[in-house]
C-alpha cells in the first residue's frame, strides 16, 4: 500500500468520478485507475462501485476515514518539516556548562533573540557528560561542553573547538599554599579537594591528574556551581582545581586566592631540575557540539555561527575578556 494509492482513492470518493479525480490530482485517468486497482489488489477486496456515480463499497466505507487520517497526518508532517527547514521552529534548546552560561552566553543569547524573536530559547546549565547525553537523546539542539572524545566521536556529531583555558587552584586568601606563585602537585595533594559532581568533565580531569602522578585525590566535597566552590573554599583549608572561566569572580574577592599549577619535568621528583621536558600546562578544551541533521535548520545554524564567531579562541589570563555583539 502506498500513499499515492490512498490519495487516489480519496480523490475518486470525494469527486465522484475517475475523470474528476485525475483532474484534481494532476494525472491521467488511467493513472488513477491503476492506483485504485493496485490498492484493491493489496487489500483483496473491491473498494468502489464503478457506475455513473462512483461510490465506495462496504470495504471502501471502512477504509475511508482511515485513509483520510493517514493523508492528513502525512500532510501535517510535510508542513511541519517544510516550516522547520524554513526556520519556523518554536524553540531552540541549549545545554551548556555553568561558566559558559555565566560569562560568554548572555550577549550571544541576546543577539539570537533579536535575530529570531519568534523562536523561544531555552538554556540549561549542565555538566559536560550530562549535556552530551541529552543532546544524543534529542532533548537539546546544541551543547557547549568540555571536550570528551569518548562521547563525541560518532559520525553524526559535529564538534567545533571553541577555546582552551588553563586550570588553576582556588584557595582561601590565608591558605598555606598562598605563598607559592605556582603550586607544586606534591603540595597540592596534601590538602582536601572540593570537586565537581559525577557527570562533570572537570571531575574526570582532576581524578586523572592525581592518578597519573600516583597521588590520592582527597575528595572531601562534591559541588556543581562556581558560587558554591567559592563559598566552601573560603572557609578553611579545602582547595579546588577550576578552569579560568569559573574563577572570574574569585579574582575580585579578597577572601580568595588563585594560583597556577607548577609545571613538572617528566620523571623528576624535583620540579627545579633543568633540561627535562615539562608536562604541558593543565588545561581543558571547550567545544560546541550538535548533530549534522540539526545544522540544516536555520535557527540552529545561526546560533552555531554566533557561538563560533563570538567565543574567544583562547582563555589565558584574568580578567575574563568581554564578548561583545556589534
Q: What is the pLDDT of residues 26-39, one digit of tens each?
A: 999 999 899 999 99
Q: Which residue has the cell 582556588?
A: 170
Mark whether 159 and 290 lie in a shared domain.
Answer: yes
Does residue 158 sit in the same domain as residue 169? Answer: no
* Beta-carbon contacts of residue 298 (< 8 Å; ≥ 6 apart): 85, 86, 87, 89
| Residue 319 domain flag | no
256/292 same-domain check: no
Domain membership flag for residue 320 = no
Flag whether 150 is in a domain: yes
- Domains in the chain: how many in total? 3
Q: Is residue 321 part of a domain?
A: no
**pLDDT number for residue 153:** 78
Supply the CATH number for residue 40's domain.
Answer: 1.10.10.10
Q: Within this chain, do residues 121 and 224 fall inside the same structural domain, yes or no?
A: no
Strands 142-146 and 91-96: parallel
Query: Residue 216, CB half-sphere, CA atoms under 13 Å: how many?
Result: 4
Q: What is the CA radius of gyration of the chain?
A: 31
Residue with grid cell 582545581, as numbered in its chain: 241
Do both 149 and 57 map to the same domain? no
Distance between CA atoms of 157 and 99, rounded to whole angstroms?
23
The strand pair at 157-172 and 256-259 is best described as: antiparallel
Crossing angle between the packed helical segments 29-43 and 18-25, to the nearest 10 degrees = 110
Place of cell 586566592: 257
Q: CA angle at residue 127 from 207 to 290, to 5 degrees?
A: 120
| Residues 50-78 as b or e (16 or more Cβ within 10 Å = b) | eeeebebeeebeebbeebeebeeeeeeee
- Which range marks the domain in which residue 188 is found? 165-283
pLDDT computed for residue 290 by the predictor: 96
Residues 48 and 101 placed together within one structural domain of the fold: no
User: Is there a domain that residue 266 lies in?
Assistant: yes
**Among residues 85, 107, 127, which one ends one of the domains?**
85
SS (H, E, C) the chain: CCHHHHHHHHHHHHHCCHHHHHHHHCCCHHHHHHHHHHHHHHHCCCCEECCCCCEECHHHHHHHHHHHHHHHHHHHHHHHHHHHHCCCCCEEEEEECHHHHHHCHHHHHHHHHHHCCCCEEEEEECCHHHHHHHHHCCCCCEEEEECCCCCCCCCCEEEEEEEEEEEEEEEECCCHHHHCCCECHHHHCCCCEEEECCCCHHHHHHHHHHHHCCCCCCEEEEECCHHHHHHHHCCCCCEEEEEHHHCHHHHCCCCEEEECECCCECCCCCCCCCCCCECCCCEEEEEEEEECCHHHCHHHHHHHHHHHHHCCCECCCCCCCCCCCC
Same domain, 138 and 116: yes
Task: State which residues of the chain have pLDDT below 70.
Answer: 87, 265-280, 313-326
pLDDT single digits (tens) 99-145: 888 888 999 999 999 999 999 999 999 988 899 999 999 999 999 99
**Distance of alpha carbon 166 from alpha carbon 118, whole angstroms:** 38
Question: Is residue 316 one of the residues assigned to a domain?
Answer: no
* Residue 23, pLDDT score: 92
Domain presence at residue 318? no
- What CATH number does residue 257 fall under? 3.40.190.10
- Residue 119 within a domain: yes
By residue count, the chain amounts to 326
Prediction pTM value? 0.73
Given 50, 85, 120, the domain boundary residue is 85
Domain edge (last residue) among 85, 103, 130? 85
The verdict on 226 and 294 lying in the same domain is: no
57 shares a domain with 134: no
Residue 278 and residue 176 share a domain? yes
The answer to whether 250 and 256 have CB atoms below 8 angstroms apart is yes
Mark whether 276 and 174 lie in a shared domain: yes
Q: Does 115 share its domain with 136?
A: yes
**pLDDT score of 314:** 60
Amino acid at each position: 500500500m502506498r500513499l499515492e494509492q490512498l490519495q487516489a482513492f480519496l480523490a475518486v470518493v470525494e469527486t465522484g468520478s475517475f475523470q474528476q479525480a485525475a483532474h484534481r490530482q494532476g494525472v491521467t485517468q488511467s493513472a488513477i485507475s491503476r492506483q485504485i486497482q493496485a490498492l484493491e489488489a493489496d487489500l483483496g477486496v473491491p473498494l468502489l462501485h464503478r457506475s455513473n456515480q462512483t461510490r465506495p463499497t462496504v470495504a471502501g466505507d471502512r477504509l475511508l476515514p482511515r485513509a483520510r487520517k493517514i493523508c492528513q497526518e502525512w500532510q501535517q508532517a510535510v508542513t511541519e518539516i517544510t516550516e522547520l527547514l524554513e526556520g519556523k521552529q518554536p524553540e531552540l534548546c541549549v545545554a551548556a556548562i555553568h561558566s559558559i552560561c555565566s560569562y560568554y552566553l548572555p550577549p550571544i543569547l541576546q543577539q539570537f533573540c533579536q535575530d529570531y524573536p519568534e523562536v523561544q530559547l531555552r538554556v540549561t546549565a549542565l555538566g559536560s557528560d550530562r549535556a552530551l547525553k541529552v543532546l544524543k537523546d534529542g532533548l537539546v539542539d546544541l551543547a557547549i561542553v568540555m571536550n570528551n572524545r569518548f562521547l563525541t566521536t560518532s559520525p553524526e556529531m559535529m564538534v567545533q573547538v571553541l577555546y582552551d583555558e588553563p586550570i588553576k587552584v582556588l584557595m582561601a586568601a590565608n591558605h598555606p599554599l598562598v605563598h607559592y606563585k605556582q603550586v607544586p602537585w606534591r603540595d597540592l595533594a596534601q590538602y582536601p579537594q572540593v570537586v565537581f559532581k559525577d557527570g562533570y568533565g572537570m571531575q574526570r580531569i582532576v581524578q586523572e591528574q592525581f592518578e597519573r602522578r600516583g597521588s590520592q585525590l582527597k575528595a572531601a566535597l562534591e559541588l556543581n556551581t562556581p558560587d558554591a566552590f567559592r563559598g566552601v573554599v573560603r572557609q578553611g583549608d579545602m582547595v579546588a582545581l577550576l578552569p579560568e572561566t569559573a574563577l572570574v569572580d574569585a579574582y575580585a574577592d579578597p577572601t580568595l586566592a588563585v594560583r597556577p599549577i607548577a609545571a613538572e619535568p617528566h620523571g623528576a621528583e624535583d620540579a627545579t631540575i633543568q633540561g627535562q621536558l615539562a608536562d604541558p600546562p593543565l588545561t581543558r578544551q571547550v567545544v560546541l557540539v550538535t548533530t549534522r541533521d540539526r545544522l540544516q535548520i536555520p535557527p540552529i545554524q545561526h546560533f552555531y555561527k554566533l557561538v563560533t564567531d563570538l567565543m574567544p579562541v583562547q582563555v589565558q589570563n584574568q580578567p575574563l575578556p568581554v564578548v561583545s555583539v556589534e
